[in-house]
Amino acid sequence: MKNLVLSLISVLCTIITYGQTEIIPKTTFSKNYLAVWLTASEHCLDIAKAMPEELYSYRPTAVSKSFGEQMVHIGYTVSLLTKRYVQGMEVKPNTPDASKMTKAEILDLLETGFGYTTNVIYTIEQEQLEESCVMYHSGNTVSRAFAFFYVQDHMANHRAKANLYLRMNNIQPPEYTW
């Protein structure tokens, strides 16, 4: 619900109020991208909430990530990829073990990861968005602004897999709306 409220406010006026402090995205890119990011993040949280906790260990094949692992991977990597590609930080993966986490802990990890990236969207300066970065997996050089799309695409890839896990367990996935 909190994320839905944030999405609606950002779409209407691109201003979010936390307590008494108003935060306005610093760049035109951020103002335009924010609603897309918030919608995608909220949809991912809806998918995570739709799966019963007892099925978080479900995996469709022996080599597939479990549902919980998909969600932990998303929650952990949105901030890691934002740090690495958007902010240019040196970071090394240290993904938490989903099998040792409750559904509530995984939801918290997702919200924390999404919150981190959302904060960067709000606070990033235009000069940073125009800087180049090299994507480790492909070797492609892109702008840091473009790297935000990679973070979202990576999340959407794993979210889509998790969405399929819901269907495989006869659970109607939350509908994606935009």
Q: Considering the chain, what percentage of its residues have pLDDT values greater than 70?
A: 88
Q: Using an 8 Å Cβ cutoff, are 48 and 71 in contact?
A: yes
**How confident is the model at residue 12, as a pLDDT?**
38
DSSP structure class, residue 177: -
**How confident is the model at residue 6, as a pLDDT?**
43
CA distances (Å), origin 62, targets 1, 42, 116, 166? 35, 29, 32, 17
pLDDT digits (tens, 9 = 90+) for 100-118: 999 999 999 999 999 999 9
CA distances (Å), origin 39, targets 4, 18, 115, 126, 155? 8, 19, 13, 23, 12
**How confident is the model at residue 19, as a pLDDT?**
54
**How confident is the model at residue 177, as a pLDDT?**
80
**Which pTM value belongs to this model?**
0.86
CATH number of the structural domain 25-168? 1.20.120.450
CA distances (Å), origin 166, targets 34, 51, 67? 27, 6, 9
Q: Using an 8 Å Cβ cutoff, are 43 and 176 in contact?
A: yes
pLDDT digits (tens, 9 = 90+) for 15-50: 444 455 667 899 999 999 999 999 999 999 999 999
3-class secondary structure per residue, 118-147: HHHHHHCCHHHHHCEEECCCCCCEEEHHHH
The CA distance from 53 to 102, in Å, is 7
**How confident is the model at residue 8, as a pLDDT?**
38
Q: Using an 8 Å Cβ cutoff, are 76 and 109 in contact?
A: yes
The CA distance from 57 to 18, in Å, is 36
Q: Domain residue spans in the chain?
A: 25-168
Q: Using an 8 Å Cβ cutoff, are 162 and 177 in contact?
A: no
Q: Give the count of alpha carbons within 13 A of 145, CB side only.
A: 15
Dump the DSSP string for 41-88: HHHHHHHHHHS-GGGTT--SSTTSPPHHHHHHHHHHHHHHHIIIIIS-
